[in-house]
A and B are shown apart, each in its own frame.
Chain A
């Protein structure tokens, strides 16, 4: 193959070999993704015992490798924040706090076990308060956004949207007097009939999009794994 490309085109043989090598690498990657994907996909439509056992093995490998990915993610976080501290960036103090909490948690969980009272204590007294508080902030943000919805560009869809939100909120309340407005019956039509139609259209659209994106990946048209 190398002899066909001589120096008359101005490029050394090694350079052309690099092109071939890149092409081969890409082909192998496409084949790996495509073949493994097709074996797994076949299990959804065919019930062949040998294929099924290969499929289950591949799924098992994938499940284990996701665990490795989780480790990689964790190590990457440590590395990023370590670099911030070493570089003396303005947020290095926060990075130090992050690394301290990380290693303290790892030490406690490793020493006492993940089912110990101490691990449960960390979950209940660090994760739960922070996550619930962050979600609580969202209530304020949504309320603010809903009140300030701009009407310079009012169109039919925005009106329908905000009316639906208001009706849904009011009909969910059991405060005496509100039920006289019969909003719950309106809400039953909104949420129980009309929104099912819209939601079904959305989930069908999402499924079709997933199908297209997945097939593009399996056929090698999209290669997100490629460098």
Chain B
């Protein structure tokens, strides 16, 4: 017998199967006689796999139409049925796979035998160097808590930030603004500043800001933005009368195309109903075109790219601003510098937020933060330069005659 019947469901399985493919219950093990009938006389291990000359035991391809007689000419080309013929193509073992398996086995056997480099004394321990540099960085950053804070000029406004400011300044006041909060809590320290600056500007123009997010944690981040604005020294939103949290876009990135085309269809109807009861201007919103501006805040270049691509398919006809983390800036600059532009405005990193605040004369940030940031960047640049020179010198010294 070359197949084995499952004791649970009664279905037939291949002789070498240990688990039933129909009900996932354990199968009784096959006898050696049964295995030998299909050419397997030893346990199935890499070193026991048949050599290439026994290839007919393991044909390499099967397509979904095999076995359906008369449907295609493939049926005639299929070799005669053999248990391994009917294995899904992924379970078949090719010659290349046998060689790779042998290579992997040899590598694993050799694992753990590699000696360290005894000549490399400096910074040999990963933990030590990480701790050492963390102390330098933390002590360096905290220095401004123990010495008087020197005067440091606020950053000059860059052309990108100025352009964004002008776009917001020229918005029509009777249409709400759409802000998409798509960044993780980790990056809220960097991006909240720009969002707060924009929110202040919009609130001053009496423009309603409607927030959404395609991240599950987004609605919570939006509520945090509202609470921070309420507690802000500048009292941006004393009674949260100019903000509304529309919530989570179902489907995340999968929901973006539907949100661009038909936001009322994808967002829960209760979210719209509740919003309209407070803000009647939401009644006229049927697509992102009906907002005055669309601002998307994210730290992830893939998320930003998804939004840009889907908006390109259904252009919104309104200014599109991106608030992005410094790490995603290079990936978005091609879209910003495209002809015609795919993005109208770009606020990148904490610096853009500070520039926007300074230009708008609504700076609420602690000047110590700006100093610490500058020192942190300078420290890293100098350490990497010095470290690079030292490492290069040590390497050259080791290899020179």
Contact = CB atoms under 8 A, between A and B. Distances in A.
Taking the complex as a whole, does A directly touch B, i.e. does some CB pair lie under 8 Å apart?
yes
Interface of A: 1, 4-5, 9-12, 14-16, 18-20, 22-24, 26-27, 30, 44, 56, 59-60, 62-64, 66-67, 70, 114-115, 119-120, 123-124, 127-128, 131-132, 134-135, 139-144, 146-152, 154, 162, 165-167, 169-170, 172-176, 178, 191-192, 195-196, 198-200, 202-203, 226
> Is chain A's binding surface mostly helix, strand, loop or mixed?
helix
Contacts of A22: 86, 88
A152 B217 contact: no
Contact of B377 (A135, A169, A191): A169
A132 to B, nearest CB: 6
Nearest to B249: A63
A143 B383 contact: yes
Contacts of B333: 191-192, 195-196, 199
Given A123-B224, A154-B392, A59 B384 contact: no
A15 B388 contact: no
Contacts of A196: 330, 333-334, 337
Given A44-B313, A62-B251, A175-B375, A166 B12 contact: no
A151 B245 CA distance: 51
4 nearest CB pairs, A to B: A63-B251, A147-B387, A169-B381, A131-B186
A146 B187 contact: no
Contacts of B176: none
B227 A120 contact: yes
A60 to B, nearest CB: 6
Interface of B: 2-3, 11-12, 64-69, 80-81, 83, 86, 88, 123, 129-130, 133-134, 137, 152-153, 155, 184-189, 216-217, 219-221, 223-224, 227, 245, 249-252, 254-255, 257-258, 261-262, 265-266, 305, 313, 329-331, 333-334, 337, 351, 374-378, 380-388, 391-392, 395
Contacts of B377: 169-170, 172-173
Contacts of A10: 2
B186 A134 contact: yes
A166 B258 contact: no
Contact of B133 (A18, A147, A162, A166): A147
Given A154-B392, A199-B334, A174 B155 contact: yes
Nearest to A57: B265
Given A11-B81, A132-B186, A149-B391, A59 B258 contact: yes
A131 B66 contact: no
Given A23-B64, A115-B223, A149-B391, 20 more contacts: A19-B67, A23-B68, A24-B64, A26-B64, A44-B313, A62-B251, A120-B223, A120-B227, A131-B186, A140-B137, A146-B383, A149-B387, A150-B395, A151-B388, A154-B392, A154-B395, A162-B388, A175-B378, A178-B378, A199-B333
Given A123-B217, A149-B391, A169 B64 contact: no
B217 A169 contact: no
A114 B376 CA distance: 37
Find the residue from A9, A147, A149, A162 having the highest chain B CB count within 10 A: A147
Contact of B65 (A23, A128, A154): A23
24 contacts: A5-B81, A11-B3, A12-B12, A19-B86, A24-B64, A60-B265, A60-B266, A63-B249, A63-B266, A67-B251, A114-B219, A127-B220, A140-B133, A151-B391, A152-B395, A154-B395, A166-B381, A167-B381, A173-B374, A173-B378, A173-B381, A198-B330, A202-B331, A203-B305
B391 A150 contact: yes
B159 to A, nearest CB: 10
B192 to A, nearest CB: 10
